[in-house]
Amino acid sequence: MPAIEMNELIQNGLNRAVELMALAAYNSFKFGKRNTIKMVSLSIDDLKEIAEFCYSLGDMSPLAARDGRFVMELVKEPHAVLLIGDKRKSDFNYNCGACGYRTCAELNKAEEVEALTARGPSCQFKNININIAAGAAASMAWRLGLHCRVFSTIAFAAFALNKLEGIDIATSVAVSAAKVDPFFDRHQYWTKEHWDEIFAKEFPTFTRGFFGAIEE
Amino acid sequence: MSIERSMKQFEDDRKEAVKIAARLLLASATTTPRVGGVGECTIHILDDECKIEDLCQAVEKMAKENERWSFFTRDAMMLRDADAVLIVTSLRCYTDPADTNCNMCGKLTCEYLKESEKFPDEPGIAYKGPLCIFRANNIGYAIDGIVSLARNLGIDYGVFWSAGAAAMRMGIVPKNTGFCLAVGISVTEKSPFRDIPLKYDEINERTMNDRIIKRLWPQFRSIYS
């Protein structure tokens, strides 16, 4: 049997890991004994498109731009992103009130509101179901020793770019087999000057000795 | 009724195992992801039989409030068999929208959600929506933190929204709680959350014991002794 190169081993393992994560998400606990979630593993081309889209939102959302820059780096090493979504309307008939409508029928009849991030209003329990599924996928990734983070930003962008048909709400789980965990302490995506400027703006009193001091 | 000492020891140790497991599940739920990295969930453990019974009675009381909640009585009976109940709350979804303008609630911006009128505190309303769905989604992660570890520990579990809503009614969770779910756990040989008869609120181990053993056996003993 010929030797299998390390890079190939890792990529094959990652492909298998995403399948197991999807399986865990599919089999996770769901309210209402209904399994209506939809899933897709995003391709590298999808992710590059998502990265550019996020970056283009920079004026509106610095966080999206940061995540756009981050995704461009993420795809340079072995990675995978699982997108999980569902429809927004309720088929539970719980009439719980969390969505702001007294009954599920009222929610389902309400006017649909389009946005780049999701279609609303959506059933709280539909949302809980996809987030439990995301948790199960993340839990599986953690057990498999992968670097992992749950991303709303990537999911919102994937929704806007229609990467998964027939969904109104979405979340995503990104995993990586990079040499260093890429998901946390992402200081490289901000310049020190920008960080200092934003911190001073958001927390103006932090460096003042006396709270009555007047800003220069 | 006489029970062998070793059997009593087993029962004591089983209850101790429940207390340890509940706290480990709390730890797992606490460290799950939070949207935006902002902490807002609390997890509360009820491992006292009397407190669980109070919760079950509150669930049963709510069953009469809304015609869609008739299954609450069955939930309450299942929860009576639970050894502990974990209640997971979301504190910010009621008062502090995430400012992501995500539109999951159907309001294009979070400002619109802040301005919208909430449901009053009245019977038939479980959660005083509209809530920030993006924030309340954190409960999904926390619930999976509990379920995932419970599976690894070999602990039986059942997830109930009825008990979460009842806990809010009882005021045993923080006052800003907007959304709340509950997980019952059990360390017994047969999961009390599976294989449940449809009329479980009427036909269950308690009523069977009461009707057959506790009622018939004393009479049988009186007559035939």
**What pLDDT digit, counting tens, does each position of B58-92 carry?**
999 999 999 999 999 999 999 999 999 999 999 99
Q: For residue B98, what are the domain limits?
A: 5-194
Q: What is the mean pLDDT of residues A13-19?
A: 96
Q: Indicate if B85 and B141 belong to the same structural domain.
A: yes
Measured between alpha carbons, how far is A214 from A205 in angstroms, rounded to an integer? 10
Residue A210's pLDDT band (boundaries 50, 70, 90)?
low
Residue A204's pLDDT band (boundaries 50, 70, 90)?
confident
Domain A14-190 grouped into CATH 3.40.109.10: yes
The pLDDT, as a whole number, for residue B212 is: 87
Residue A209's pLDDT band (boundaries 50, 70, 90)?
low
Residue A202's pLDDT band (boundaries 50, 70, 90)?
confident
Q: Indicate if B42 and B63 belong to the same structural domain.
A: yes
Q: SS3 for B45?
A: strand
CB–CB contact B181 A128 (8 Å): yes
Q: Indicate if B23 and B51 belong to the same structural domain.
A: yes
Chain A CB contacts of B38 below 8 Å: none
Q: Give residue ranges of A with CB < 8 Å to any B CB.
A: 28-29, 31, 88, 93-102, 110, 113-115, 117-122, 124-125, 127-132, 134-136, 138-139, 149-150, 152, 156, 169, 171
C-alpha count within 13 angstroms, C-beta hemisphere, residue A67? 22
Q: For A43, phi and psi rounded to 5 degrees?
A: -85, 170
CB–CB contact B105 A99 (8 Å): yes
The pLDDT, as a whole number, for residue B178 is: 96
Distance from CA of B19 to the nearest CA of A (A): 23
Chain A CB contacts of B102 below 8 Å: 115, 117-118, 152, 156
Q: What is the mean pLDDT of residues A78-82?
A: 96
pLDDT at A154 exceeding the cut of 90: yes
CB–CB contact A124 B131 (8 Å): yes
CB–CB contact A128 B32 (8 Å): no
Residues B194-208 pLDDT 10s: 999 888 988 888 898
Measured between alpha carbons, how far is A46 from A63 in angstroms, rounded to an integer? 19
Structure tokens at A16: 């298998």
The pLDDT, as a whole number, for residue B1 is: 55
Q: Indicate if B189 and B136 belong to the same structural domain.
A: yes
Q: Indicate if B118 and B203 belong to the same structural domain.
A: no
pLDDT at A157 exceeding the cut of 70: yes
Distance from CA of A138 to the nearest CA of B (A): 9
Structure tokens at A145: 């020793």
Residues B141-198 pLDDT 10s: 999 999 999 999 999 999 999 999 999 999 999 999 999 999 999 999 999 999 998 8
The secondary structure of chain A in percent helix, strand, coil, rounded to multiples of 5, reads: 45, 10, 40
Query: What is the count of structural domains for chain B?
Result: 2
**DSSP class per residue in B135-160:** HHTHHHHHHHHHHHHHHHHT-EEEEE
Q: Indicate if B214 and B187 belong to the same structural domain.
A: no
Q: Indicate if B131 and B33 belong to the same structural domain.
A: yes
CATH number at residue B15: 3.40.109.10
Chain B CB contacts of A127 below 8 Å: 104, 133, 136-137, 140
Residues A90-131 pLDDT 10s: 999 999 999 999 999 999 999 999 999 999 999 999 999 999
Question: Mean pLDDT in chain A?
Answer: 92
The pLDDT, as a whole number, for residue A211 is: 60
